[in-house]
Amino acid sequence: MTVQLHVNGKPVSLDVAPNTLLVQALREGLHLTGTHVGCDTAQCGACTVLLDGQAVKSCNVLAHQVAGRSVTTIEGLAGEGGALHPMQAAFKDCHGLQCGFCTPGMVMSAVALLQTHPKPSAAEIREGLEGNLCRCTGYHNIVAAVQQAAGV
């Protein structure tokens, strides 16, 4: 089946099998490998993307379910000339990453969080990122990065 959607602001047409997951379509069909496959059970959040501005775990969504919708991946956050998005810059500045595997999903969830909670408390950040697991950082620097991006 052919699925038409917008990915990172551009119209895309993909031929996918009915059981193709969105994460597979992004990584294998569009070569957007910043969206990581972690657990395949929607537990870790490494595959988080924005679907019409909402954070979703792309390993839990079929590609054909997003027909006509807008998907933003970590690659789509960068600005003109590859300038880092403020959240990406904050993760870098605050060392909110170590191995980097969870980082794309964590950043995407944090961007979505600030859309609904522009000035979150540390507790709200921790709650908002609850579905994203990091095995390296202990979350302290991740919370600091989101606070910096939010200007709090």
pLDDT per position as a tens digit, 27-84:
999 999 999 999 888 899 999 999 999 999 999 999 999 999 999 999 999 988 889 9
Sign of CA dihedral 22, 5, 35, 61: negative
User: Which position has the token pair 């909670």?
Assistant: 117
Strand order across the 10-15 sheet? 10-15, 2-7, 70-72, 48-51, 54-57
Q: Please report which helix (H) or strand (E) contains residue 127, including its range.
A: helix 122-128
113: closest CA among 40, 105, 15? 105
Angle between helices 86-93 and 103-116 (to 10 degrees): 120
Which domains are seen in the chain, by residue range? 2-76 (3.10.20.30), 80-150 (1.10.150.120)
Report the Cα 60 to chain-centroid distance in Å: 13
pLDDT recorded at residue 9: 96
pLDDT recorded at residue 59: 97
Which residues, including other chains, have CB under 8 Å from residue 145's CB and lie 6 or more apart?
Answer: 87, 90, 91, 93, 94, 96, 110
Residue range 80-119, pLDDT digits in tens: 888 999 999 999 999 998 899 999 999 999 999 999 999 9
Taking the model in full, what pTM does it have?
A: 0.95
- Confidence label for 138 from pLDDT (cuts 50, 70 and 90): confident
d(CA 91, CA 133): 15
Do residues 69 and 12 lie in contact, with contact meaning Cβ atoms separated by under 8 Å?
Answer: no
